[in-house]
Amino acid sequence: MSEVATPIESGLWTDVWQRLRRRRSVHAAAGVLALLVFLAWIGPALSPHAYDALDWERMGAPPQLEAAHWLGTDRLGRDLFVRTLHALRLSLLIGLLAALVSVLIGITWGAVAGYFGGRVDAVMMRTVDVLYSLPYVFIVIVLASLFERGSLAALFLAIGAVGWLTMARIVRGQTLALRRREFIEAAIACGAGSGSILVRHVVPNVIGPVVVYATLTVPQMILFESFLSFLGLGVQEPLASLGSLINDGAREMESAPWLLVFPAGVLMLLLVSFSVLGDGLRDALDPRAE
Amino acid sequence: MLEIADLEVAFETRMGHVKVVSDFSLSVARGECVGIVGESGAGKTQALLAVMGLLPRGARVSGSARLQGEELLGRGAGALDEFRGARIAMIFQDPLTALTPHMRVGDQIAEVLVRHRRLSWSAGRERALELLRAVHIADAERRLRQYPHELSGGMRQRVMIAMALACEPDVLIADEPTTALDVTVQAQILALLAELKRTRGMSLVLVTHDLGVIAGLADRVAVMYAGRLVEQGTARAVLKAPRHPYTRALLDSMPRLDVPSSEPLRAIRGQPPDPRALPAGCAFHPRCDLAADLCRSARPRLRPTGDGMVACHRPLGAAAGEEGPTS
Amino acid sequence: MTNALLRVVGLRVRFAAGRGASVHALDGVDLELREGEALGVVGESGCGKSTLVRAILQLVRPTSGTVVWLGRALDEMPARELRSARRDLQIVFQDPLASLDPRMTVGEIVAEPLRIHRPDLNAEARRREVHQMLARVGLPPDAAARYPHQFSGGQCQRIGIARAMILRPKLLVCDEPVSALDVSVQAQIIELLHDLKRECGTALLFVSHNLAVVRRLCERLLVLYLGRMMELGPTDAIYADPRHPYTRALLEAIPVPDPDVQPARLSHVLPGEPPSPLSPPSGCVFRTRCPHAVEVCARQVPSWETDSAGRGIACVRWREIGPESA
């Protein structure tokens, strides 16, 4: 009677974990991500160069083993290997944090608006619409004038302010559809309170699209950051993010293609692993996908 | 008129090869109504969709289905179109999903005639009006110009029937035509089908899970279980003196008005089997009160019994000589 | 009657239908349910039976009228009290799969009422209750760890019944619980409900469009048409002697699996379909389809007449029509 001993209420998340572990593509994506995170953390220490040190002898040098510039140097003679990994660290941090903020605020906002409906929904969603309609650039300029140049706090604020809007809309739409489903009615008829219904029935059922969108948010935010950096709000020289490296690299594509190829390659790897992981997670979250 | 022989339908799924219809043979004479009864998953709809060439890709169909001697199976969509809608038509359980939502119902009926009979649109619409009257839609002129969502469920089913009748088909297949309808409307649609069969001499194949629906219309009844025919015979023989224990049990499990309400309903125990994992021997044996060892090991073949056929090792009411081991 | 479990008084539910119009989904329903009693509610789609269920359970706010539960009006209760009153007021839905959260295991689903209303139980005790209940409704012991989509329709309905009955409620409301199921499985579910009702002394409010199904379970019967009450009374009396023309039509429309009888039944079929509730007929709402309608039926809304045997009817002509002629 091993079945009787199965815990009946650990339910969804244990099962999700088990289903996730069965997927090979998820293993590969998680492996790549782990490697990237690992490199981002300890990678710079492997190289004798610092991310902002200039090598006056080798400016714009192609990849070489000599002098340990494995991925070459940029126009100022800074080592691209160290800079790329350093940038990866920053970009990952920004991307993950922004995705987390967008998921937390977005789910709460969207689920509450969608579930309660009526006036609550109208007020909450109009707020989202207003924030949407403000041009990014406007928000960014306001923030830039309030904070000092290169402030990371301002960067997070700017990204956070826009990141959750789409998520809230997605979650609200899903919740509206869910609210008419009978199992929600069944929960109300059972005497469950609104909070418990939101946490136990609504959120687990909207999590699929949320996860997929969140994994898309990470790369989006990484790119958005590079746009902010360009406006002087994001990461500033001599620090670098993947976005800013790619920006710089694109300008010298013809004379020094490695400056574009390597950061772009890392970003691509990151994007692909995130979306594979997202797909795997979505399927694992749906018991019916077996 | 319609001869189906040794029809087999299987699907390739991720779980492997799943047979949903096996050894299905049925003939329908001119002007005859054959009822096919069975529960969900019995394969009754799949068998008829296969005849109409309407199964999704990935379905494997073998056997034969002849309409007045002409083979229907294995034809391409183009070749099938000269039959479908024109000589053999089908109506479905849910008329709302079977009708195009953005077209006026009159135009939908007319379209069938324009395509198959090469009528002009105006002639087609005129004929559509006659057809709507033939299926007793009140206020037909106005209905002609309405969209499907503006009609009630019963009215939509009448429109579907009118559409199916447009080209005066030889055979009409009705798949659970009244399951989605209210009882009083169901009775109306059944009365309409009975009238059409009588006045037009049309052959009718009526698929349903409700033996009461069958009783009012069918001349002959075929009972399906787990993808196979288990009993076949005249409506009177099958419904009044069923030979197969499944047919008997189906009749017994129906709530009836003519037995005292204090008497419990005699439910069939268990669930209809999963086509992916059919029981060995007779597929009905786990739910059958009469099952013997033979039933668990050998699958009974369909054998003639008097005026019908039954696939059972231990048929009910068998005369002494009739029962015996089958090869 | 003092021991009324549930009293519905003058219940009306109106829905906005756009452009200022409104639809009376339910127009003046009065009924009473005693402890352990089973009341069947029948009628065709649009007759208001689902609205009645939802209004009684306060899933839909009534426009007027009250629902009195154990002497207290449910619609006046504060939210917290209403939630705890729901402990004794459970429901089984029509679509067995849709009423179960697809992301929850069957064990979690059945345990949910316990989690809400019996916080005193620890996980172990809760698990034991769930397993007992699953066994009682005839599900295998390993069901608890599986998901709803892995079960057939009939089994899902058993899960729904297990969830509704685990707290031994005083009233179980069933909204067409078997109409989505196969015939052979329908009978199983009806017998299960019949047994549970007897064991637990639960009262039933059983909504169905199938009169034959209601007959096995319910002592009393209410017939609704277009949101109005047509006839009410003891089930056996109504089946033996239906007084309202609509009740008769409903009974006559049930298909009988007898080829000697059924073709003839198809020859006298009630014509027409229920009119749009947006513009209900004047007078008696059934008059547009009634074979006995006369001019007075269009003028006068029939009053609710009751007799000593507990039968009620809304028809001006029921005495003249006399016992069933067909």
Closest by Cα among C165, C160, C105 to C133: C165
- Contact between C254 and B214 using a beta-carbon 8 Å cutoff: no
- Rounded CA separation B44/C172 (Å): 36
Q: Do residues B317 and B243 make contact, with C-beta atoms less than 8 angstroms apart?
A: yes
Among C112, C127, C142, whose Cβ lies nearest the Cβ of A190?
C112
Q: Is residue A4 part of a domain?
A: no
- Contact between C184 and B255 using a beta-carbon 8 Å cutoff: no
What average pLDDT does range C161-176 have in this prediction? 94
* In a shared domain, residues B191 and B301: yes
State which residues form the domain around B100. 96-168
> Encoding tokens for residue B105?
């119902």
* In a shared domain, residues B153 and B287: no
- The arrangement of strands across the sheet holding B203-208 comes to B88-91, B171-175, B203-208, B33-37, B220-225, B228-234, B308-310, B303-305
pLDDT number for residue A290: 55
Q: Is residue B111 part of a domain?
A: yes
Establish if A287 touches chain C: CB-CB under 8 angstroms. Answer: yes
The strand ranges marked E within chain B are: 2-13, 16-28, 33-37, 59-67, 70-71, 88-91, 171-175, 203-208, 220-225, 228-234, 303-305, 308-310
Question: How many pairs of residues across A and C have Cβ atoms under 8 Å apart?
Answer: 103
Q: Is residue B5 part of a domain?
A: no
- Rounded CA separation C111/C167 (Å): 10
What average pLDDT does range A29-50 have in this prediction? 82
* In a shared domain, residues B149 and B212: no
* In a shared domain, residues B73 and B103: no
What average pLDDT does range B236-243 have in this prediction? 92
- Hey, is C7 helix, strand or coil? strand
Beta carbons within 8 Å of A22's beta carbon, 6+ residues apart: none
Alpha-carbon gap: C266 to the closest alpha carbon of chain B (Å): 5
- Rounded CA separation A219/B80 (Å): 51
Closest by Cα among B200, B191, B128 to B168: B200
DSSP C62-78: -SEEEEEETTEEGGGS-
Overall domain count for chain B:
2
In DSSP terms, C26 is beta-bridged to C13
pLDDT number for residue B322: 45
- Local confidence band at C2 (pLDDT 50, 70, 90 cut-offs): low
Q: Is residue A167 part of a domain?
A: yes
* In a shared domain, residues B229 and B289: yes
- Rounded CA separation A262/A80 (Å): 8
Residues of chain A neighbouring C101 (CB-CB closer than 8 A): 183, 187, 200-201, 204-205
ipTM of the shown complex: 0.84
Q: Which CATH number do you get for residue A123?
A: 1.10.3720.10
Q: How many helices (H) and strands (E) does chain A have?
A: 12, 0
In tens, the pLDDT along C119-129 reads 999 999 999 99
Q: Is residue B202 part of a domain?
A: yes
CB atoms within 10 A of CB A262: 21
> Encoding tokens for residue A58?
């080798």
What average pLDDT does range B290-300 have in this prediction? 91
Beta carbons within 8 Å of B113's beta carbon, 6+ residues apart: B119, B123, B124, B127, B128, B166, B167
* In a shared domain, residues B119 and B182: no
pLDDT number for residue C326: 42
Find the residue in C nearest to A16 (Cα): C103
Residues of chain C neighbouring B217 (CB-CB closer than 8 A): 263, 266
pLDDT higher at A287 or A175: A175
DSSP conformation class of A79? B
- Contact between C101 and A287 using a beta-carbon 8 Å cutoff: no
Establish if B241 touches chain C: CB-CB under 8 angstroms. Answer: no
> Which of C101, C133, C147, C157 would best serve as a mutation to test chain A binding (most A beta carbons within 10 A)?
C101
Q: Is residue B85 part of a domain?
A: no
What average pLDDT does range C260-267 have in this prediction? 88
The pLDDT mean for chain B works out to: 87
- Rounded CA separation A283/C211 (Å): 44
- Hey, is C107 helix, strand or coil? helix
pLDDT at residue B324 greater than cutoff 50: no
Q: Is residue B322 part of a domain?
A: no
Q: In Å, what is the CA distance from B81 to each residue of B91, B92, B108, B131?
A: 16, 18, 16, 21
State which residues form the domain around A73. 30-51+65-289
Residues of chain C neighbouring A188 (CB-CB closer than 8 A): 59
pLDDT number for residue A3: 35
Q: In Å, what is the CA distance from B79 to each residue of A287, B31, B86, C140?
A: 42, 25, 12, 50
pLDDT number for residue A11: 57
Residues of chain A neighbouring C91 (CB-CB closer than 8 A): 186, 189
* In a shared domain, residues B209 and B299: yes
Residues of chain A neighbouring C67 (CB-CB closer than 8 A): none
pLDDT higher at B201 or B325: B201
What average pLDDT does range B278-284 have in this prediction? 91
pLDDT at residue B136 greater than cutoff 90: no
Among C99, C108, C123, whose Cβ lies nearest the Cβ of A182?
C99
Overall domain count for chain A:
1
In DSSP terms, B231 is beta-bridged to B223, B310
Q: Do residues A171 and A109 make contact, with C-beta atoms less than 8 angstroms apart?
A: yes
* In a shared domain, residues B73 and B152: no
Q: Is residue A3 part of a domain?
A: no
> Encoding tokens for residue B298?
């050998």
Q: Which chains touch B (3 or more CB pairs under 8 A)?
A: C
Helix (H) or strand (E) holding A28: helix A24-46
Q: Is residue A17 part of a domain?
A: no
The answer, yes or no, to whether the previous bond of A238 is cis (omega within 30 of 0) is yes
CB atoms within 10 A of CB A71: 22
* In a shared domain, residues B119 and B186: no
Of B168, B193, B217, the residue that ends a domain is B168
Q: Is residue B287 part of a domain?
A: yes
Amino acid letter, A280: G
| Strand C64-69 relative to strand C38-42, pairing | unpaired
Q: Is residue A135 part of a domain?
A: yes
* In a shared domain, residues B197 and B274: yes
pLDDT at residue B294 greater than cutoff 50: yes
Among C84, C86, C123, whose Cβ lies nearest the Cβ of A189?
C86
> Encoding tokens for residue A237?
């020289």
Q: Do residues A273 and A34 make contact, with C-beta atoms less than 8 angstroms apart?
A: no
Q: In Å, what is the CA distance from C218 to each residue of B20, B139, B287?
A: 39, 40, 28
Establish if B155 touches chain C: CB-CB under 8 angstroms. Answer: yes
* In a shared domain, residues B48 and B184: yes
Amino acid letter, A9: E
Q: Is residue B105 part of a domain?
A: yes
- Rounded CA separation C132/C142 (Å): 12
- Contact between B39 and C256 using a beta-carbon 8 Å cutoff: no
> Which of C244, C250, C273 would best serve as a mutation to test chain B binding (most B beta carbons within 10 A)?
C273
* In a shared domain, residues B42 and B178: yes
Q: How many helices (H) and strands (E) does chain C have?
A: 12, 12
- Rounded CA separation A107/A110 (Å): 5
Q: Is residue A19 part of a domain?
A: no
Give me the phi and psi of B31, to 5 degrees please.
75, 10
Q: Which region, left, alpha or beta, applies to residue C140 given φ > 0 means left and ψ of -120 to 50 means alpha? A: beta
- Contact between C116 and A196 using a beta-carbon 8 Å cutoff: yes
pLDDT number for residue A8: 41
Looking at B139-143, C132-136, C158-162, C180-184, which range is the least confident one?
C180-184
- Contact between C188 and B236 using a beta-carbon 8 Å cutoff: no
Q: Is residue A152 part of a domain?
A: yes
pLDDT at residue A267 greater than cutoff 90: no
Q: Do residues B149 and B103 make contact, with C-beta atoms less than 8 angstroms apart?
A: no
Q: Is residue A122 part of a domain?
A: yes
Give me the phi and psi of B111, to 5 degrees please.
-60, -40
Q: Is residue B208 part of a domain?
A: yes
Q: Do residues A191 and C83 make contact, with C-beta atoms less than 8 angstroms apart?
A: yes
pLDDT number for residue B166: 87
Establish if A190 touches chain C: CB-CB under 8 angstroms. Answer: yes
Return residues 163-202 of B near C (CB < 8 Å).
182-188, 190-191, 194
Closest by Cα among C84, C96, C79, C183 to C137: C96
- Rounded CA separation B4/C205 (Å): 47
pLDDT number for residue B320: 41
- Rounded CA separation B233/A51 (Å): 88
Alpha-carbon gap: C108 to the closest alpha carbon of chain A (Å): 5
pLDDT number for residue C235: 92
Q: Which CATH number do you get for residue B73?
A: 3.40.50.300
In DSSP terms, C27 is beta-bridged to C12
- Hey, is B222 helix, strand or coil? strand
